[in-house]
């Protein structure tokens, strides 16, 4: 199925009635008019694809969502899906793991329908993010730069869910949680040299107050050896890894991917 057709199918499924109440990843509120020239599409929920979030009283036990980022080829994508990965990340920013639109489409076509396609962008204009999302068939945009709250809102109003990355350096780094209307927040390590994929851990103590929040994804230096510790400390919505699962930049190690998924859900 062509990615655009798959994306329309996703929209149809997501808009179908559901008995599950929308907690956390609710439909986006209409805010302002999107950028001129960008067609406004319905903003939809990811809930039919990702494990259920807690109910309003937190009684429902969640399954930690696992994302493997920096996928550069269909073979690695298939392996990630086969071992139970919930989402794969495709990097469209400057990186040794960067993929072009055509390769990204091939990767997406190789994935089963129940695996989310996440596009990683750094300081791209909302119109560019939305254009790539529609061409490739992305379900979620991970904005990993210095995007403004208005930029995040524009992407969401364009019909694509947003995971805003926050690079944690000090307590002030987390103040942005209240500034953005994002669907999810990814906490990553701060580095002056790179935007993600550094293999560095941030100071978990700075974010321990976020334990149990249903819109937090933990990243930065996670691997099979320590992801369980992160899950137990934060009880996050999800976990994300890239460089720790590689033989070399852009080439995943099948066994480490498998162990990462198993450890996250042990």
Q: Which domains does the chain have, with CATH numbers?
A: 66-265 (3.20.20.70)
pLDDT, position 194:
52
pLDDT, position 189:
79
Summarize pLDDT for 198-254 with one digit per residue, the tens.
667 778 888 988 998 889 999 999 999 999 999 999 999 999 999 999 999 999 999
Residue 260 near residue 68 (C-beta atoms within 8 A): yes
Of the ranges 92-96, 104-108, 166-170, 195-199, which one carries the lowest mean pLDDT score? 195-199
Q: Is 108 a catalytic residue?
A: no
Torsion of CA 230, 234, 238, 240, to 10 degrees: -40
Summarize pLDDT for 126-159 with one digit per residue, the tens.
999 999 999 999 999 999 999 999 999 999 999 9
Q: Is 86 a catalytic residue?
A: no
Active-site pick, 76, 86, 139, 188: 188
Does the pLDDT of residue 85 top 90, yes or no?
yes
Ranges of H-type helices in the chain: 3-14, 74-82, 101-110, 126-136, 149-157, 227-234, 254-265
pLDDT, position 130:
98
Q: b/e string for 204-215 if b means 16 or more Cβ within 10 A?
A: bebbeebeebbb
pLDDT, position 19:
32
Of the ranges 49-63, 67-81, 157-171, which one carries the lowest mean pLDDT score? 49-63
Active-site pick, 69, 76, 86, 214: 69
pLDDT, position 192:
56
Size of the chain, expressed as the number of residues it contains: 266
pTM: 0.76
Summarize pLDDT for 14-45 with one digit per residue, the tens.
433 333 333 333 323 333 334 444 443 333 33
């Amino acid at each position: 199925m062509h990615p655009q057709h798959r994306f329309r199918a996703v929209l149809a499924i997501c808009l179908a009635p559901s008995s599950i109440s929308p907690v956390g990843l609710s439909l986006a509120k209409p805010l302002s008019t999107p950028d001129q020239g960008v067609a406004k599409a319905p903003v939809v929920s990811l809930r039919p694809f990702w494990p259920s979030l807690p109910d309003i009283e937190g009684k429902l036990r969640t399954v930690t969502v696992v994302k493997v980022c920096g996928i550069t080829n269909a073979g690695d994508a298939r392996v990630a899906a086969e071992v139970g990965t919930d989402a794969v990340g495709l990097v469209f920013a400057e990186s040794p793991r960067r993929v072009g639109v055509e390769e990204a489409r091939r990767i997406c076509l190789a994935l089963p329908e129940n695996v989310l396609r996440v596009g990683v962008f750094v300081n791209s204009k909302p119109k560019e993010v939305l254009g790539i999302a529609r061409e490739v068939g992305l379900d979620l945009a991970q904005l990993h730069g210095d995007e403004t709250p208005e930029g995040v809102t524009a992407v969401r109003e364009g019909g694509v869910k947003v995971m805003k990355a926050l690079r944690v350096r000090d307590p002030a780094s987390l103040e942005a949680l209240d500034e953005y209307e994002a669907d999810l927040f990814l906490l990553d390590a701060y580095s002056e040299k790179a935007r993600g994929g550094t293999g560095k851990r941030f100071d978990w103590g700075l974010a321990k107050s976020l334990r149990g929040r249903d819109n937090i994804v933990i990243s930065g230096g996670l691997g099979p050896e320590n992801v369980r510790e992160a899950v137990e400390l934060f009880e996050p919505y999800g976990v994300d890894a890239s460089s720790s699962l590689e033989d070399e930049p852009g080439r995943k190690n099948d066994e480490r991917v498998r162990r990462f998924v198993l450890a996250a859900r042990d």
